[in-house]
Structure 1
Amino acid sequence: MSSPEANRRSVLAAALYGGGALFLASCAQGSTTPQSTPQPGTSGTASGPVQVTDQRGTVLSFDRPVTRVVTIPMPTASLLAAVDQGTSHLAGMHNASWVAMRDGVMGTMYPDALNIPHDIATTDFTPNVESIRALNPDVVVQWSDAHLTAPLEQAGMKVLGITNTGTQEDVDTWTSLFATLLGRPDRAVQIKARSDEKLKSIQAEAAARGTGGPGIIYFNRFSGGLKVAGNGSYNDFYIKLVGGHNPATGPQGLQGKGMVGVDVEQVLAWDPEVILLGNFDEAMPADLYGNPVWQSVSAVRSHRVYKVPLGGYRWDPPGQESQLMWRWLSDISFPSGDRSALRDETTDCFDFLYRYRLSAPEMDKILWTEANGASANYRQFDAS
């Protein structure tokens, strides 16, 4: 019989095709069932006409807040759920979004989400127009490239076009757009305020430490071909945010933007001190620790290889839980020897985002405590 960890790895393997440069917890003992829809009369809830301008500059008008949203960019399904504090208005999503829900805790928090249609687009986000039209959406969220939006608009559907520049501003913009569409502008204000507070805190910590942080490489793909985060990626943003440096964007870095293919020799030459393994791939730290090819790399010798957490959505790309990624990365990059505040911060964050309280085992699942257990300084994330 396979172990729970092996089963989880097999599920993650199904997400290998997830978009490279694309994006987007725990609590007291015991779980509680979340409310899947906002309470009537929630402060800031609107009921009249709604108008938004998407990231293409296209103006979309609705007679009332939307109730049926289809999301194609992968992080947007979970972000919509966070803004809405439920999934009752999510009518369809990309399969990779659904896989993350199934494998992470979103499917536990909102089990009905696993019944939402998810065969609506190809791996390169080309929409299945007929499948989407059959869902009768009020609006379809799609990458703003004309060849991706045009088929939907030509079929008579309203399309909210979004872009990904690898910055925190994108998350703020998406959150604001979704909150407006759903008639919950208060949520955008609240979410941004909390994110801004955490961002300033991480920036202050990094400034106090000064320069000289570790070299950190993020692998968007490891098994079946190496891809690392380059210029213009959100991963490069948060590596530098916490005070590290990214060899892939340094003086000996790569040409091109986003996720860039590399060979083993290039990574050996960079000799990163920390390696992050993303959730678009099934690779685990043990795969490097046990492979002779990687034994000369500093991160492997010092056991500083880590699987990135998977919460309501993958923590690798930008999303509503990015503030937790910043704390996690800061703590593994600059361990103090004390217990990390991450569990407490995640408890608070999930309560705010999803109205859900996680058990200690659910938190361990999010943080990959078993897979990361042999990596340096990971005991700081243990339950107290």
Structure 2
Amino acid sequence: MISNRKAMRAGALLLSVILVLGVAGCATPPAQEAVEVVDQLGRTVKVPSKVERIASPYAIANSLVIALGAGDKIVGVETYAKDSKLYAKAAPHLLEAPGIGSGRELNIEECLKLNPDLVIVPSRMKEAAEKLEAQGVATIAIFPEDLDQMADTFALVGKAIGCEERANELVNFYREKTDMVKDLTASLAETDRPRVYLTSKDPLTTCTTEMYQHTMIELAGGQNCSAELDKGFWAQVSLEQVLTWNPDVIALVQGAKFTPEELMADPKWQSIPAIKSGRVYQFPSNLESWDYPTPGAVLGLLWLTSTLHPDLYERTNLEGDAQAFYQQFYNIDVTAEELGL
């Protein structure tokens, strides 16, 4: 009897130990392993395996996160987000989200207040990225400034936020359309490729070859007038330089502070072929800028192709492609008026 009682007590003690260890394990589960990514500055970054709070001062990054289906996880945005018509339709909560900067600067203090799991910045913000990392905040830098870099950006962000399948869908759509344009324009002779001058918000500011806009012009079957500018981003030029370039076509970015009509009426520009022929256009879309390297930039490529070579890609095709794009990746229906077509 005594030995049986001792055995029972020993068994009860062992059971108690097992229960205590079991409860402790449920209360404090082992930390999940981080996801390791290499950003577009070549930095290896460890990102939490489950990202729930994303912050970025970069509109390009936020538009991409929405397209990947994680817009509800964005907690900090660019300071001018309240003006975004795309957000109003696809992610209206972002209109009231805290602003933490722009594509040129980040308010680190305000960003940290949001307790983000992940911060996404443009590659020019290397110093800010390192400061955030020093505070224990996973931060990746992106650089979507040509065709391959754009696809790499989609894949990088998709992996970082756990949306790899969706990122692959976006890359496939992007590749399909860019390959189509390559095929359409590949056989054009140099004489059939118009000289294109792209203006920023100011008529005497244009793109360099380090920018996606340069790639867009060349791929769409044009010749970028400013191809000799190979350093930096938006570059200031003189009117004399534009006159020397003598563009056949002038394209204004969507956010230009002047209209094609105003430019064509300027007496100082009258000797330019684009002005004489009336081939001065503005990127459309009342939702977002198609001339910037967001996911929607592929639509800007299609628009520019149809503008430079309407015989190769008709404008009516663009409307259908654009509507399919926004339905697939932003889950919204858009009208031709919203597209600016």
Deviation at 1:274, TM superposition (A): 0.8
Q: Secondary structure at the match of 2:59?
A: coil
Query: Cα–Cα, structure 1 residues 345 and 48, in superposed 2: closer, same or farther, change >3 Å?
Result: farther
- Structure 2, gaps ≥5 residues long: 1-31
Query: Cα–Cα, structure 1 residues 283 and 68, in superposed 2: closer, same or farther, change >3 Å?
Result: same
Contact 1:70 1:137 in 2 (8 A): yes
Contact 1:129 1:155 in 2 (8 A): no
Deviates more, 1:191-200 or 1:174-183: 174-183
Match of 2:266 in 1: 291
Q: Secondary structure at the match of 1:243?
A: coil
Match of 1:320 in 2: 295
Q: Secondary structure at the match of 2:64?
A: helix
Deviation at 1:68, TM superposition (A): 0.7
Contact 1:92 1:132 in 2 (8 A): yes
1:113 and 2:94 matched: yes
1:130 and 2:109 matched: yes
Deviation at 1:215, TM superposition (A): 0.5
Query: Cα–Cα, structure 1 residues 66 and 312, in superposed 2: closer, same or farther, change >3 Å?
Result: farther
Query: Cα–Cα, structure 1 residues 123 and 208, in superposed 2: closer, same or farther, change >3 Å?
Result: closer
Match of 2:133 in 1: 153
Deviation at 1:106, TM superposition (A): 3.0
Deviation at 1:199, TM superposition (A): 1.1
Deviation at 1:150, TM superposition (A): 2.7
Match of 1:93 in 2: 77
Deviation at 1:63, TM superposition (A): 4.5
Query: Cα–Cα, structure 1 residues 137 and 298, in superposed 2: closer, same or farther, change >3 Å?
Result: same
Partners in 2 of 1:135 and 1:89 — Cα distance?
Answer: 12
Tell me how large the CA RMSD over aligned residues is.
2.3
Residue pairs, 1:199-214, within 5 angstroms: 199-212=178-191, 213-214=193-194
Partners in 1 of 2:298 and 2:50 — Cα distance?
Answer: 28
1:242 and 2:235 matched: no
State the Cα deviation string for residues 131-164 of structure 1 (Å, max 9, x = none): 1111110011123443222332233322112235
Count matched residues.
307
Q: Secondary structure at the match of 2:50?
A: coil
Amino acid of the residue matched to residue 113 of structure 1?
L
Amino acid of the residue matched to residue 218 of structure 2?
K
Partners in 2 of 1:309 and 1:115 — Cα distance?
Answer: 26
Contact 2:285 2:338 in 1 (8 A): no
Query: Cα–Cα, structure 1 residues 346 and 271, in superposed 2: closer, same or farther, change >3 Å?
Result: same
1:70 and 2:51 matched: no
Q: Secondary structure at the match of 1:152?
A: helix
- The structure carrying a bigger helix percent of its residues is 2
State the Cα deviation string for residues 184-222 of structure 1 (Å, max 9, x = none): 210111111111111111011102333321100111232
Q: Secondary structure at the match of 1:141?
A: strand
Q: Secondary structure at the match of 1:142?
A: strand
Partners in 1 of 2:64 and 2:216 — Cα distance?
Answer: 19
Query: Cα–Cα, structure 1 residues 307 and 115, in superposed 2: closer, same or farther, change >3 Å?
Result: same
Q: So what's the TM-score if we normalise by structure 2?
A: 0.82
Amino acid of the residue matched to residue 248 of structure 1?
S
Match of 2:324 in 1: 348
Larger radius of gyration: 2
Contact 2:90 2:331 in 1 (8 A): no
Partners in 2 of 1:231 and 1:339 — Cα distance?
Answer: 27
Contact 1:277 1:308 in 2 (8 A): yes
Partners in 2 of 1:156 and 1:48 — Cα distance?
Answer: 15
Amino acid of the residue matched to residue 150 of structure 2?
V
Pairing partner for 1:57 from 26, 32, 42: 42
Contact 2:77 2:94 in 1 (8 A): no
Q: Secondary structure at the match of 1:208?
A: coil
Q: So what's the TM-score if we normalise by structure 1?
A: 0.74
Query: Cα–Cα, structure 1 residues 123 and 322, in superposed 2: closer, same or farther, change >3 Å?
Result: closer
Deviates more, 1:336-345 or 1:287-296: 336-345
- Structure 1, gaps ≥5 residues long: 1-46, 368-380
Partners in 2 of 1:153 and 1:306 — Cα distance?
Answer: 43
Match of 2:169 in 1: 190
Contact 1:221 1:228 in 2 (8 A): no
Q: Secondary structure at the match of 1:346?
A: helix
Contact 1:143 1:149 in 2 (8 A): no
Partners in 2 of 1:209 and 1:146 — Cα distance?
Answer: 40
State the Cα deviation string for residues 349-374 of structure 1 (Å, max 9, x = none): 111111111134323xxx2xxxxxxx
Partners in 1 of 2:275 and 2:154 — Cα distance?
Answer: 38
Pairing partner for 1:169 from 145, 148, 159: 148
Q: Secondary structure at the match of 2:284?
A: coil
Contact 2:103 2:121 in 1 (8 A): no
Match of 2:3 in 1: none
